[in-house]
Chain A
Amino acid sequence: MTYILKPRLHHPHLQTNSLGYTRRDYEGSVSTLCAGCGHDSISASVIQACFELELPPHRIAKLSGIGCSSKTPDYFLGNSHGFNTVHGRMPSVMTGANLANKDLIYLGVSGDGDSASIGLGQFAHCIRRGVNMVYIVENNGVYGLTKGQFSATSDYGSKSKRGVVNHDSAVDLVSLALQLGATFVARSFSGDKRQLTPLIKAALSHNGAAFIDCISPCVQFNNHDGSTKSFDYVREHNDAVNRLDFIRPRTPIEIDHAPGTLEMVTQHDGSVLALRKLDEQYDPSDRAAALGFLQERQALGEIVTGLLFVDPTPKDLHDHLETVATPLNALTDAELTPGAAKLAELNASLR
Chain B
Amino acid sequence: MSALARVNDFVVKFANVNGSGSASANGLFAKSILRMGVPVAARNIFPSNIQGLPTWFEVRISEAGHLGRRGGVDLMVAMNPQTWDKDVAELEPGGYLFYDSTKPLPPEKFRADIEIVGVPLTAMCNAAYTDARQRQLFKNIIYVGALSALLDIDMAVIEQLVAEQFAGKDRLIKPNLDALHMGRDYVTQNLKGIGLRVRKADAVGDRIYVEGNNAAALGAVYGGATVCAWYPITPSTSLAEAFTSYCEELRIEPETGKARYAIIQAEDEIASIGIVVGAAWNGARAFTCTSGPGVSLMTEFVGLSYFAEVPAVIFDVQRGGPSTGMPTRTQQADILAAAYAAHGDTKHPMLFPADPGECFEFGALAFDLADRLQTTIFVMLDLDIGMNEWLTKPFAWDDARRLDRGKVMAFDDLESGRDFGRYLDVDGDGIPYRTYPGTHPTRGGYFTRGTSRNPYARYSEEGAVYVDNMERLLRKFETAKTLVPAPERHDARRVTKSGVIYFGSTTPALHEALEMLEGQSRYLNALRVRGFPFADAVADFIAEHERVFVVEQNRDAQLRTLIMNEIGVDPAKLVPVNHYDGTPITARFISGEIGARMAVRPIVEAAE
Residues of chain A at the chain B interface (Cβ within 8 Å): 1-3, 56-59, 61, 63, 73-74, 78-86, 89, 91-101, 103-104, 121-122, 124-125, 129, 317-318, 321-326, 328-331, 333, 335-340, 342-343, 346-347, 350-351
Contact = CB atoms under 8 A, between A and B. Distances in A.
A110 to B, nearest CB: 13
Interface string B207-243: 1111000000010011010110100000000000000
A94 B276 CA distance: 10
B279 interface: yes
A73 B446 CA distance: 11
B461 to A, nearest CB: 9
A330 B256 CA distance: 17
Contacts of A95: 264, 271, 274-275, 278
Contacts of A317: 262
Contacts of A335: 253, 260
B438 A79 contact: no
Given A323-B262, A340-B398, A79 B208 contact: no
| Interface core residue of A1, A97, A326 (most chain B CB under 10 Å) | A97
A85 B250 contact: no
A58 B436 CA distance: 10
A294 B275 CA distance: 32
Interface in B410-435: 435
B260 A336 contact: yes
Contact of A85 (B221, B256, B403, B450): B450
A66 B400 CA distance: 44
Contact of A99 (B227, B300, B398): B227
Contacts of B275: 92-93, 95-96, 99
Contacts of A1: 459
Contacts of B281: 83, 93, 96-97, 100
Interface string B527-538: 000000000000
Interface string B295-336: 000001100100000000000000000000000000000000
Contacts of A323: 258-262
Given A80-B437, A338-B250, A97 B278 contact: yes
B397 to A, nearest CB: 5
Contacts of A92: 229, 266, 270-275, 278
18 contacts: A3-B454, A80-B445, A82-B446, A85-B304, A86-B300, A86-B450, A91-B274, A93-B278, A94-B278, A95-B274, A96-B279, A98-B278, A99-B278, A329-B279, A338-B250, A339-B397, A346-B218, A351-B207
B396 interface: yes
Nearest to B263: A321
B222 A86 contact: no
Nearest to A335: B260
B122 interface: no
Given A96-B274, A97-B281, A99-B227, A324 B260 contact: yes
B209 A331 contact: no
A100 B282 contact: yes
Contacts of B282: 61, 96-97, 100-101, 104, 329
B447 to A, nearest CB: 4
A346 B395 contact: yes
A337 B224 contact: yes
B226 A336 contact: yes
B227 A350 contact: no
Interface string B390-409: 00001111110111000000
B286 A121 contact: no
B451 A84 contact: yes
B188 interface: no
Closest 6 CB pairs of A and B: A96-B278, A92-B274, A100-B284, A81-B437, A329-B283, A93-B278
A104 B394 contact: no
Contacts of B285: 336
B438 to A, nearest CB: 5
Contacts of A80: 437, 445
B403 A84 contact: no
A58 B224 contact: no
A91 B207 CA distance: 44
B274 A93 contact: yes
A83 B285 CA distance: 18
B397 A99 contact: no
B442 interface: yes
A31 to B, nearest CB: 13
B346 interface: no
A180 to B, nearest CB: 12
A14 B267 CA distance: 48
Nearest to B252: A324
Interface of B is mostly: loop
Nearest to B210: A350
B458 interface: yes
B271 A125 contact: yes
A347 B226 contact: no
Nearest to A89: B274
B41 to A, nearest CB: 15
Contact of B259 (A94, A97, A324, A336): A324
Nearest to B440: A58
Nearest to B221: A338
B441 interface: yes
Contacts of B271: 89, 91-92, 95, 121-122, 125
Contacts of A321: 259, 262-263
B459 A100 contact: no
B479 to A, nearest CB: 24
A59 B49 CA distance: 50
Nearest to B442: A79
Given A57-B441, A99-B275, 6 more contacts: A63-B278, A93-B274, A99-B262, A100-B281, A129-B264, A340-B396
Given A93-B274, A324-B259, A336 B403 contact: yes
Contacts of B101: none
Contact of A350 (B208, B256, B436, B442): B208
A23 to B, nearest CB: 16
A187 B489 CA distance: 65
Contacts of B266: 92, 125
B278 A337 contact: no
A84 B403 CA distance: 28
B264 A99 contact: yes
| Interface core residue of A83, A94, A95 (most chain B CB under 10 Å) | A83
A288 to B, nearest CB: 25
B76 interface: no
Contacts of B396: 340, 343
Contacts of A94: 278
Contacts of A61: 282, 437-438
A123 B280 CA distance: 21
A251 B477 CA distance: 55
Nearest to A102: B262
Contacts of B451: 84
A100 B301 contact: no
A350 B440 CA distance: 46
A326 B256 CA distance: 12
B226 A100 contact: yes
A121 B267 contact: yes
A84 B229 contact: no
A336 to B, nearest CB: 4
A47 to B, nearest CB: 15
B438 A322 contact: no
A153 to B, nearest CB: 21
A347 B208 contact: yes
Interface in B116-142: none
B277 interface: yes
Contacts of B267: 121-122, 124-125
B561 interface: no
Given A95-B278, A325-B258, A343-B395, A81 B229 contact: no
